[in-house]
């Protein structure tokens, strides 16, 4: 019988797979950790790519079974501080080291908190009517400008802005109810 590879992966293949799985499963947390320090989303995505490159380059230093989140956040913290120093140097304004460290200290907590918010958002999006979900997908995931969506939907940009405003308000209320319930106070959920 001919196969494309070994039936049982070699131990180093399994370790590499485990490491990749950890890295992939922590991407949202690492990104939100970065976003607490790097305010521009595009710059944060660039820093995330730098962080991922460093994590992959240093994967031999990670001890399997240890705390991947703490290890990866330490790398992310260093890369964010490097970015902020570079960014500040470009703008000819220097942020104090104390301020940058203060940002880094609060970033880990914020990144952990983001998981619950993201889960609530995902659940609330499932409750939206199909048309509302499609509009959100077009505007925020595909980043299609309203001036392109309006003719397709045979409506005005203003009407779409109002619809998006109402959808965001519905999502906000739903998310806040879910977060409140997650903290102990059980309610029924509606969008």
Q: What does the H/E/C string look like for the chain?
A: CCCCCCCCCCHHHHHHHHHHHHHHHCHHHHHHHHHCCCCCHHHHHHHHHHHHHHHHHCHHHCCCCCCHHHHHHHHHHHHHHHHHHHHHHHCCCCCCHHHHHHHHHHHHHHHHHHHHHHHHHHHHHHCCCHHHHHHHHHHHHCCCCHHHHHHHCCCCHHHHHHHHHHHHHHHHHHHHHHHHHHCCCCCCCCC
What span, in angstroms and rounded, lies between the C-alpha atoms of 96 and 181? 40
pLDDT of the residue at 184: 66
Span 20-34, mean pLDDT?
91
What is the rounded CA–CA span in Å between residue 75 and residue 154? 49
Q: What's the pLDDT at 96? A: 60
pLDDT score for 101:
66
Asked whether 64 and 17 are in contact (CB, 8 A), the reply is: no
pLDDT, tens digit (0-9, with 9 covering 90-100), for 145-162:
999 999 999 999 999 999
Q: What does residue 96 show for φ and ψ, rounded to 5 degrees?
A: -70, 150
What's the mean per-residue pLDDT of the chain? 82
Across the range 29-37, mean pLDDT stands at 90
Q: 99-152: per-residue pLDDT in tens?
A: 666 667 777 677 777 778 888 888 999 999 999 999 988 988 888 899 999 999
Q: Which tens digit of pLDDT belongs to each residue from 45-93?
A: 999 999 999 999 999 898 888 999 999 999 999 999 999 888 776 554 4
Please tell me the predicted confidence (pLDDT) of residue 93. 44
Query: What is residue 2's predicted lDDT score, i.e. its pLDDT?
Result: 43
- pLDDT value of residue 100: 66
8 Å CB contact between 160 and 150: yes
Which domains, ranges and CATH numbers included, belong to the chain?
A: 9-114 (1.10.1740), 127-191 (1.10.10)
Q: How far apart are CA 178 and CA 191, in angstroms?
A: 11
Among residues 89, 107, 105, 101, the alpha carbon closest in space to that of 32 is found at 107
Predicted TM-score of the model (pTM):
0.50
Place of tokens 């992959």: 56
Q: Is the pLDDT of residue 97 over 70?
A: no
Per-residue pLDDT, averaged over 22-41, amounts to 89
Q: CA dihedral defined by 6, 11, 14, 15, rounded to 10 degrees?
A: -150
- List, for residues 163-185, the tens digit of each pLDDT value: 999 999 999 999 899 888 877 65
Q: What is the pLDDT of residue 166?
A: 94
């Amino acid at each position: 019988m001919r196969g494309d590879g070994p039936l049982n992966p070699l131990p180093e293949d399994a370790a590499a797979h485990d490491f990749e799985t950890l890295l992939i499963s922590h991407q949202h947390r690492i990104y939100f950790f970065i976003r607490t320090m790097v305010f521009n989303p595009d710059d944060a995505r660039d820093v995330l790519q730098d962080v991922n490159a460093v994590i992959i380059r240093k994967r031999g230093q990670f001890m399997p079974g240890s705390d991947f989140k703490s290890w990866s956040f330490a790398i992310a913290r260093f890369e964010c501080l490097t970015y902020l120093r570079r960014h500040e140097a470009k703008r000819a304004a220097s942020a104090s080291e104390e301020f940058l460290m203060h940002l880094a200290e609060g970033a880990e907590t914020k990144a952990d908190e983001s998981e619950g918010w993201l889960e609530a958002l995902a659940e609330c999006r499932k409750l939206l009517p199909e048309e509302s979900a499609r509009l959100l997908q077009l505007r925020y995931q595909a980043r299609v400008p309203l001036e392109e969506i309006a003719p397709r939907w045979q409506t005005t940009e203003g009407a779409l802005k109002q619809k998006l405003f109402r959808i965001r308000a519905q999502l906000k209320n739903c998310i806040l109810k879910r977060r409140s319930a997650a903290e102990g106070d059980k309610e029924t959920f509606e969008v």
